Amino acid sequence: MLIKTSEFIISAVKREQYPTDNRVEIAFVGRSNVGKSSIINALTNRKKLAKVSQTPGKTRLINFFLINNDFHLVDLPGYGYAKVSKKEQASWGKTIETYLHGREELKRVVLLVDSRHKPTADDITMFEWIKHYGYDVIVVATKKDKLSNNDLRKSEKLIRDTLKLTSEDKLYFFSSLNKKGRDELIDNLFGDLASEE
C-alpha cells in the first residue's frame, strides 16, 4: 500500500468533536517520549504532519489525520510522563479511555513501546485496556536503530514476555530515523484495512 496523501483533520477532546464520516480508524498510542509523532511523520513521509515536541507529553488532544482520503490515522495523547501532575495524567487517561470505549470506526490500535527498555506498567495497562475493549492490537517497538542485532533479539523476548504476547500477537521493530522496512510496516499496519484503490 502506498500513502499518497495525508492531512490533519481535527484535534478533539470530547466525543462530539470526533469525525462523523464513518471512515475506518487506526489509532497510535504510547508513552510520551516513545517517538509517536516521529513514526507518524516517517510513515506518511511528511516532516511536520504530527508535531514533534522537545517536551514529552505535549499531545493532550486526540489528533485525526486523513490518509489517502480513505481512513483516519488517530494520534492519541502520550501517557506516563512523570513531570505532569497526577490530575493532568488522569485527564489524559480519561481522554484515551473515552475514545477507546465503543468507538465503532476504530479497527486497530498500534501500541508503541521503546525497543531499548522493558515495557512499563503503563504500557502493560494500555495493552490490557486495548484487549479489554476488543480491538485488534499491533505492537511496534521504536528506535530500532539504537540496537544491535543481538540486542534486538533480547528486546523482542523482553517485550513479548512483559506484555504476555501470544504467538498470534504481532510485534514489529522500526526506526523513524532510517525508515528501514517502512513500506512493509505500512502494509502490515494499514494494508488489510485500507479500501482497495
Record the cell numbers describing residue 180, joined without a space.
Answer: 528501514
Say what the pLDDT of residue 22 is: 93
Q: How many CB atoms lie within 10 A of CB 9?
A: 16
Judge whether 11 lies within some domain: yes
177-194 pLDDT per residue, tens: 999 999 999 999 999 988
Q: Say what percent of the chain tops pLDDT 90.
A: 70
Judge whether 67 lies within some domain: yes
Going across the sheet that includes 62-67, the strands are: 6-12, 62-67, 71-75, 25-30, 106-114, 136-142, 170-173
Chain-centre distance for alpha carbon 88: 20
Judge whether 1 lies within some domain: no
Say what the pLDDT of residue 194 is: 80
Say what the pLDDT of residue 87 is: 66
Judge whether 197 lies within some domain: no
Judge whether 196 lies within some domain: no
Is the Cα torsion angle 128, 134, 139, 140 positive or negative in sign? negative
Higher pLDDT, 80 or 82: 80
Contact 145, 175 (CB under 8 A): yes
* Across 47-60, average pLDDT: 68
Q: Going along the chain, which residue ranges are E strands?
A: 6-12, 25-30, 62-67, 71-75, 106-114, 136-142, 170-173
At 91, which CATH number? 3.40.50.300
Is residue 63 over pLDDT 70?
A: yes
| Amino acid at the residue 49 | L
Is residue 33 over pLDDT 90?
A: no
Say what the pLDDT of residue 195 is: 77
Say what the pLDDT of residue 82 is: 56
Say what the pLDDT of residue 102 is: 84
Q: At what angle do helices 121-132 and 86-100 cross, to 10 degrees?
A: 30
Find the domain containing 97 and state its range.
6-191
- Cα dihedral: 53, 45, 130, 137 (round 10): -150
Domain count, the chain: 1
Judge whether 147 lies within some domain: yes
- pLDDT bucket at 18, cuts 50 / 70 / 90: very high
Taking CA 180 as the corner, what is the angle to CA 175 and CA 185, rounded to the nearest 5 degrees? 85
User: Which of 79-83, 93-97, 105-109 ranks highest by mean pLDDT?
Assistant: 105-109
Say what the pLDDT of residue 91 is: 65
Judge whether 181 lies within some domain: yes
Judge whether 142 lies within some domain: yes
99-111 pLDDT per residue, tens: 988 899 999 999 9
124-172 pLDDT per residue, tens: 999 998 999 899 999 999 999 999 999 999 999 999 999 999 999 999 9
Chain-centre distance for alpha carbon 9: 17
How far is 185 from 172, CA to CA, in rounded Å? Answer: 8
